[in-house]
Every structure is written in C-alpha cells, then in structure tokens.
Structure 1
Amino acid sequence: MKLLNAIQKHAELQPQTAAFHSQGRSLTYQELWESSDRAAASIQKSMAGQPEAPVLVYGHMEPEMAVSFLGSVKAGHPYIPVDTSIPADRILKIIENSGAELLINVSGLPLDTGSHLIKTVSPEELLSNGEGPISRDHWVKEHETFYIIYTSGSTGNPKGVQISARNLQSFADWICADFPIGEGKTFLNQAPFSFDLSVMDLYPCLQSGGTLHCVTKDAVNKPKILFEELKQSGLNVWTSTPSFAQVCLMDPAFTEELLPEAKVFMFCGEALPTSVAQALLERFPQAKVFNTYGPTEATVAVTSVEITPEVIEQNEFLPVGFEKPDMDILIMDEQGNKLPDGEKGEIIISGPSVSKGYLGEPELTDNVFFFHEGQPAYRTGDAGYKENGQIFCQGRLDFQIKLHGYRMELEEIEFHVRQSQYVRSAVVIPYQPNGAVEYLIAAIVPDDHEFQKEFQLTSAIKKELATFLPAYMIPRKFIYQDHIHMTANGKIDRKRIGEEVLV
C-alpha cells in the first residue's frame, strides 16, 4: 500500500523526525515504524486463525494509538478506534457488533468489557510479545478493510462504517495532491480518533512526512493551556470542525501572532459559517481557508473549495465546493432521478472513496449503498444542489421541519441568526412536545451589546431577522448562554442543548 510504503520511506530517510506529538511525548518515524512492526507480529500471534477480525484500540491521542493502528493493518486486521470519552455501554455494543476478540488499551485506564470474552493487552504487553518485521504479504490489501469507525444509528445502536485501504488511499492522495500542504509540515489533530475527521490530519500527515500535533480534550477544555500549547506547536496545517475554530475565535488572541506558521485551515464535519471563514481570513491574512464536505461513509470528505473574500461576497451560504477528481456527486429526487443544476434534492456520492457498507448490517447497508454506473455509491441523506459545477449542502433532509404548515430548514434560520451583530454563536431548536413542532427556540451566545435587559436584546435581534426572514421563521423564544456545548468530536451538541433549553 502506497501509504504504508511512504511511512516506511520516511522512517528510513528521516528516522529522527517526529511523526507524532501528544501530551508532551513524541514518537519518531523510526520508532513508529519499528514499534508497529513489533505490534504487528504480536497481533498476528494473538489473532492466529482469525483472519481479518478487527482489533479495538482504546485511548485518547496517545502515541501508542498510532503504533496500534499501523500494527493492526500490517498484521492484516482492520482497527476500530475507541476514544476514552465513549460511554461503556456503547463500547460493549461495539465489541458485540464487531466480533472483535483483541482490545489494545493504550489509555492506562481500567475498562470493563462485561461478559464479552475479549483479550485485552497493554502497549507494553503488545510490544514485548512480538518481533518484527513481518512480511508485507500480510498487510491489509486494497479492497480489505483498513479501519472501522462507529457512527450513531437511527435504531440507537452504533453502526460500523468499513473503510478499505483503497478508500483511504484515494482520500490521502487527494489531500496530499490538491491542498497546499507540501511535505514535512506540522498538522493539528483536534478530533478524537473515533471521529473520522481525525483521518484528515493523521494519514495525509504521515504520507507527506509531517508531524501530527495532538491537542487533547483536557487542553481543549482549558483555553489558557490550549493557547499556550498552540503557541509552542509550530503548526502549519489546521484541521478541525468549524465549531472548534469558532470557540478559538472568541478569544482575541487567536491570530496570526499566535500561529505565525499556520498557512492552511481545513474544515469538515459541519457547515462552515460565513462569520468563521471571514474572521479567519482577517486574523490570518497569509493563510488559505478550505471548506470541505463528506460523510464517514465516503471517507471523511469528497469536496473542497478555497474560501476567499470573493467567494464570501458572492454567496449567501458558503459552497462546499467541487468533488474530488475520482468522484461523482449527483443530486437526485425521491424517485432516484437526477436533478438539473439549481434544483434541490438528496446528495448522492459515487466513486472509490465510498465504503463497502456497515459491518454486520446487510439490511442497513442495502438501504443506502448501491452501485451507480459500476461505481459504489451512497445516499447521504443530505439536502443540496449543484450550481456551475459547485455543490451547496443545505443540511440534513431530516433537519427540515414543518411549522404551522410551512416547510423550513433549521440551518437556514441559524445562518441568519448568526449574522446578527449581537450574536457570537447560536443554535436553533424546534419545540415539539407531542411530535409536531409548536415553535422555535434560539439558544444564543451574545456578542458585546449595550442593552441592559434580555428582552431588549431579543427585540433587537428579531428586528434584524425580520429584514431577512418571514415572520413564521423567526424563533419565538430566545435563551442566552455563555457558551455552546460541543460533543467530544467537536461538533455542536444539539441533543444536550435541546434538553437544557426545553427544561
């Protein structure tokens, strides 16, 4: 596999270059390669007679996670990253669904696997039980599964998205070729490895001989520590959700002075608000900002566009850009008919980045995966349209609601609320106590303002909204908070916000 060959080459030509830095610890390319060889030999010995069975790797951004990932695929087994923030009940469901029989616990924390007979080893045990290297004939091959990431399922059970070596290689090649990341750069890793956004920094970084600089959840939760770590990082390539960047931008110190070497910002996982892109361009005038789009099922991202002042000026909503060269993106109606430019429908993704489906879930797989003109394809459930070759994503089809007979999109309303001069951040939640939506609630982090009372602030925001939205789309209730809750993956935690504002 090209990716693994590239890492081996870096280990030979630049053995002492840091490949991975986290929590004050570094791992060189030589250490990464040799340790993963030993891990592979140990995994192969432990998993004898279980070809292609997945390996769970439990931890949070420790260098041993990267060793375990590479060791697993060198031994011919896909890995499943499981972050320490994931609840125990969900981990048990993942173990049960995946059929994994080996768990590498790199966290140093106790983990109760219940009644599941799964062998658990520490990194020390893993590395002491194997002597590498093993034959590359054992490496995960093109159409075999490289990793499995579990996402939320509508049934309440997590779904394991299988990403093959071919899927991953297509993605890594695109990032390395089409984005100005060069070679030997320092990448930010903010997303836990159980979230596929982390793949956007991990593997392009290792393929290009760069250094991955991890920012742990403890640092993220303490702004003073976070900014000090960022200042010392020498960061060149920033990858994160827009929400994480938005949190950083709330501090006026988040500027080019803090990160003088940051030249590329890449976003995925959520819609990129215009206000965030604009603020980044102002504070980092030497950097390029890229908006990307893609679901886990299509290997992180499949579209991109550089956001410039011209793009902001020309578009009310930012585009997610053009599909990667080996992919085809279609807009289809409910009957599966291809729609013309400008007409909204479901975004369908086709090409070599599309997953083979959900592990052990043939019915769920058949519902959304199919073949289009000989290529694997995926029904995203996202609403969007094409215009002059560019894709515009308008959120989830299931984010569309009906209020008093009017069909509307929550993300469109959020966009306009966030545009208010009095609003720093906002989320719009539907109030639907008995199923039907009765009214909308706006949870807002206010910007600086001169109002003494909340009702005066609400009145001012509503007055601004009235110039952009019809009355029926303006939230009835406004709640003010000092921050917007985020999930462990760095996305807006809509469920928690909804539970709090509806109390």
Structure 2
Amino acid sequence: MNLKLIETIDKWAVENPDKKAFVWREQQLTYRQLKERSDALACWITNEYPNDDSPILVHGHMQPEMIICFLAAVKAGHAYIPVDISIPEDRIHRMIEGSGAKLFISQEALTINGTDKIRSINPFDLNKIFETYKGQKPQSEEAVQGEDNYYIIYTSGSTGNPKGVQITKNCLESFVNWAVNDFGLQQGQVFLNQAPFSFDLSVMDLYPCLYTGGTLWAIDKAMIAKPKELFASFAQSNIEVWTSTPSFAEMCLMAPDFSSDMLPSLKKFLFCGEVLPNNVAKQLLERFPEAEIINSYGPTEATVAVTSITIDKDIIEKYDSLPVGYCKSDCQILIMKEDGTIAADGEKGEIVIVGPSVSKGYLSAPELTEKAFMTVNGERAYRTKDAGILEDGLLFCHGRMDNQIKLHGYRMEIEEIEHHLRSSSYVNAGVVLPIKRNDAYDYLLAIVVPNEHSFEKEFQLTSAIKKELAAELPAYMIPRKFVYQSSIPMTANGKVDRKALLKEVTMTV
C-alpha cells in the first residue's frame, strides 16, 4: 500500500492554503504554514544530521509546533517520539537512552541536562530555523518509507522501564486508509483532539484529519480541569468528529448542557482506549440523536485500532457489555487458548492481532519483542494479553488477562464488576479497586459518583446499590466498601487515574 500520506497532507497547502489545519486556544496553523515550516525544519535536520535516521524527541503539549515537528522529522527520514509535558524528566532520560535519539525539540523551553548525547532545541531556536530555511524544500527520497519507523510511542513496561513501540509508515498508512473509509470521514471536517500526542489515541484524529484536509480542534489538560472553559471551547468549535476515551465523554455527560445544542455539527463519536460502558453510549444517543457512535479496539502495538462497530439502539438493547467490532479487512483477529491452539467460536482466550497494522516490536528490546510478538502465516502478530471472545467475527473484550484478581479464593475480573456497578440506576460513574493487605487482596472498594437520589444517609444509598448488584453478581464479587465523590480523576491521557484513586482512598478508608 502506498497511501502517499505526507504528499497528501502537503497537497492541501496548494489546494486550500488558508484552511486551518490546527487550532489551539488563540493559536492557529494553516496548511500553508504547516507545509512551509515542516519543510524548513526538515531541511535543517537533514543538514545537521546527514546520513542519520536516529529518532527525534518532540516535547510539548498541544502547541501547533508539535505537528510541524512531527512532519518535519518524517520528511527528513527520522521517526519522531512524542513527549508530553506530563512525562517526568527522569523518564525522558530513559527514553533518550533507550532510543539513541540525538535531538530533543521542546515547545516548553525544557532543556535536557546531564547528558552530552542529545542536543536541545527551544522555541526561540525553532523560530530562527523556520526563518533561516524558509522556502527550502526537502528531497522526497529522504522521507521515511515503507518499513521505516514513522513514530515511536513509549508505553509503560512491567519492569518499570518504558517500552518504545515502533510504528512504521506501512502500519500508519494501513490504519489511516481503513479509518477514513470505514468510519465514513469526509473532506474538510473539524476533529476534536483531546488525547495528548504521547498517547496513540491522538493518532486516530491527527492523521485521518490531516489526510482529509480537516481541522484539528485541540483542547488541553487545563481546559479539561475547568469544565466551564472546556464547554465554552466546544461551543465555538463546530466539531464534527469527536475522538476521545469513553471516560472523557462520561465526564462531559455529567453536565446537563453537554448535548447537540452545544455541538450542533457533531455527527460522529470515535471511541478507543477503554471499555465503552453501555449507559454512556445510551446517554450519548439521547443527547446527540443525529450522531453515529463508533466503538473500536486496538493496542498501541497494532497502530491505534483494528476493529470497529456502530453502536445503535439495537446493539445497546442486545448487549449489556458492548462489542468492540469487526476486524479491518487487511488484518485478522485470533483468539488463542492457553495451550497455544485457536479457540472455537464463542470460546474465551487471548486476543491475537495479525497483519500490517502490527508493530515491528519494541525499540532496542529484543527479549520483550520476542515475548509479545510472533509470526502467523508469514505476517507479524501481537499477543495482546487482552481476554476476548469472537462470535461470528464480532469481537468482545473481557478485560486484561493480567487484570484478573483472586480474592478469598475466587477468581474475578474487575471490568465485569465495574460494568454492573455503572449499570446501577443510582450510579453516574464508578470504579472498583481491589485493596491489598499483606500482599494479598483483602476486599473490593467502589468509588462512586452518584446520580440524584432521595436517600438521607450514605449507608442507605450503599444498601440500594448493593441490592441492585446482588441481582447480577455473586456475593463475593460485590464491593465491601463504598466511597462517594463528585468526580473520578483522570490521567493526562483521559483514562481513569486508578493510581491517584488508590492513593486517595488508602489515606481515607
């Protein structure tokens, strides 16, 4: 496949040069500026680092310069590594060490100290480069090609060291081609950019948007912390395609005015990165009756997502736990049993993804790569450690295989309990945490944002929720303790911040 991703993005600078490519607060970037500045920076990189393809770290948050640097890196033949401002400096040092990067470009004027292996570029330096190399164009043959790495995203590793997931140009083009066609994306639409660039969910809006000549409307973590400011941004955005984690949408739904009145142009929700709760999908359909909800699934190692399905009223009524969809046509989903054989239809096992979306593996980590990746019928395959079931080609996720816990001799999945907790008529949002004592799980704790209710005392509310749970779950799976809060904290990536919750509750419970 040769989607000509970079060439197509550059084409909009000729066909629609003044079209906004990116909007963040008061800052705007047109397609003309995106091309001119990425070309200039690419030429500087090529001159400064000839015959070199080491990855380039790009540090910042939602500044327009972030995507300029991404495109400049790949035009100059280098993969880029997105580094959000939320990432601590010691972790950045480990990323530098593991990647062999020689260049660190920061939009926040962060200088990496303590190493002579890397050169730091600040915003002042960057503007000087744009001016000095203005009008110069890189050679197309210098750009990343085929199986060259296009970007590298670092994810958490079980050893405590971050793992660099290598995504090639072929991987990315396979994803973009599928997303544009299967999601029914149109030319020139406005896309929400909620996820920071160091989280691969951002790729779901970034490249489909730029490829179709659209506008990315970025929101930042400071806005998310102030709903009034966030919703004011939404009201002036004309967003047509919404991409976020389900947790972020669930947070927005807590405000009654989050509806089609606020976002009248919104026609499509794209969800990935977490379980989409049934009640969240139901509320969204009620608030946005003209919008399509697309649920999808895929780990970073398989380039954002590989399955999708439109969630309509029939699906919501048919399934308590929503399916994550059918596999994209150039890939294959296998369900593998513990003994390595392929599970039968409807039988549970580990989700294995096969095809051109699958990463080459972890950068400079052959042992980790060998554990997680393999070859199936000559194609790359990734063992996800996610449990799932295929029913006539439709995939259902059943949580992490390593997120099962054993409590008082009973094996259980936290996601299953959370699903039923969130389905309670008294619960707006909820999270379940297993609490340890002396290295063993002692009890389950439910963190709940309650719906409006008539109970005077919390213990009455707890009793009512437990009664509803008892109709769906065995007694040993019902949380012993309940804590009530006005909101659920989220990570910078827009997922539930379980570590923060655990720290909070262990101080109070």
TM-score normalised by structure 1 residue count: 0.98
SS of the aligned residue for 1:213 comes to: strand
**Contact 1:342–1:385 at 8 Å: present in 2 too?**
yes
Q: How far apart in 2 are the matches of 1:126 and 1:77?
A: 18
Cα gap change, 1:150/1:116 in structure 2, threshold over 3 Å: closer, same or farther? farther
Q: Which amino acid aligns with 1:8?
A: D
C-alpha displacement of 1:16 = 0.9
Alpha-carbon separation, structure 2, partners of 1:311 and 1:359: 40
How far is 1:98 from its partner? 0.9
1:357-376 matches, cutoff 5 A: 357-376=361-380
Q: What does 1:291-370 correspond to in 2, within 5 Å?
A: 291-370=295-374
Equivalence for 2:60: 59
The equivalent of 1:223 in structure 2 is: 227
Give unmatched runs, 5+ long, in structure 2: none
Q: 1:378 aligns with which of 367, 376, 382?
A: 382
- Distance in 1, Cα, partners of 2:144 & 2:189: 27
Q: Which deviations, in whole Å up to 9, do the C-alpha atoms of 1:238-271 show, x marking residues without a partner? A: 0000000000000001000000000000000000
Q: How does 1:461-500 map to 2 (within 5 A)?
A: 461-500=465-504
- Distance in 2 (CA, whole Å) between partners of 1:129 and 1:395 is 52
Q: Find the counterpart in structure 2 of residue 126 from structure 1.
A: 129
Whether the 8 Å CA contact 1:186–1:210 is kept in 2: the answer is yes
1:105 shift after superposition: 1.0
* Superposed displacement of residue 92, structure 1: 1.2
1:134-153 paired onto structure 2 within 5 Å: 134-153=138-157
* Most deviating of 358-367 and 117-126: 117-126
Moved over 6 A (4+): none
Q: Distance in 2 between matches of 1:57 and 1:358?
A: 19
TM superposition shift of 1:502: 2.1
Unaligned stretches of 5+ in structure 1? none
What SS does structure 2 have at the residue aligned with 1:432? Answer: strand
Is 1:70 paired with 2:74?
A: no
- State whether structure 2 residue 265 is matched by structure 1 residue 268: no
Contact 1:76 1:139 in 2 (8 A): yes
| Amino acid aligned to 1:115 | T
Contact 1:43 1:126 survives alignment (8 Å): no
CA distance in structure 2 between the aligned counterparts of 1:502 and 1:379, rounded to whole angstroms: 34
Is the 1:37–1:74 Cα contact (8 Å) retained in structure 2? yes
C-alpha contact (below 8 Å) 2:111/2:120 kept by paired residues: no
Does the 8 Å CA contact 2:424/2:468 hold for their aligned counterparts? yes
Report how far residue 494 of structure 1 moved.
1.0
Q: Any idea what the Cα deviations from partners look like across 1:214-242, whole Å, max 9, x if unmatched?
A: 01111111101100000000100000000
Q: How far off its partner does 1:370 sit?
A: 0.8
CA distance in 2, matches of 1:22, 1:157: 32
**Amino acid across the alignment from 1:34:** E
Shift of 1:52: 1.5
- The answer on 1:79 being equivalent to 2:80 is yes
Q: Are 1:38 and 2:43 counterparts?
A: no
Cα offset for 1:435? 2.3
CA distance in 2 between partners of 1:466 and 1:130 (Å): 68
Given the alignment, which residue of 190, 193, 204 partners 1:200?
204
Q: Is the 8 A contact 2:112 2:120 kept in 1?
A: no
**What is the rounded CA distance, in whole Å, between the counterparts of 1:330 and 1:95 in structure 2?**
35
Cα distance in structure 2, aligned partners of 1:314 and 1:200: 28
**Contact 1:305 / 1:320 at 8 angstroms: preserved in 2?**
yes
Code of the residue aligned with 1:15 in structure 2: it is P
Q: What's the % identity of the aligned pairs?
A: 55
User: For 1:332-352, what per-residue CA distance to the aligned partner results, in whole angstroms no more than 9, with x for missing partners?
Assistant: 011211001111110000000
The correspondence of residues 185-264 of structure 1 with structure 2, limited to 5 A, is 185-264=189-268
CA displacement at 1:425 relative to structure 2? 0.7
How far did 1:421 drift?
Answer: 1.1
- 1:479 is displaced (CA, Å) by 1.0
What is the rounded CA distance, in whole Å, between the counterparts of 1:4 and 1:143 in structure 2?
Answer: 15
How many Å separate the matches in 2 of 1:327 and 1:313?
Answer: 29
Q: Retained in 2: the 8 A contact 1:96–1:116?
A: no
Contact 1:385 1:393 in 2 (8 A): yes
Amino acid paired to 1:184? G
- Asked if 1 retains the 8 angstrom alpha-carbon contact of 2:152 and 2:166, the reply is yes
Counterpart-to-counterpart distance in 1, 2:4 and 2:272: 25
Aligned to 1:5: 7
Which amino acid in the other structure matches residue 29 of structure 1? Y
CA distance in 2: counterparts of 1:309 and 1:258, whole angstroms? 22
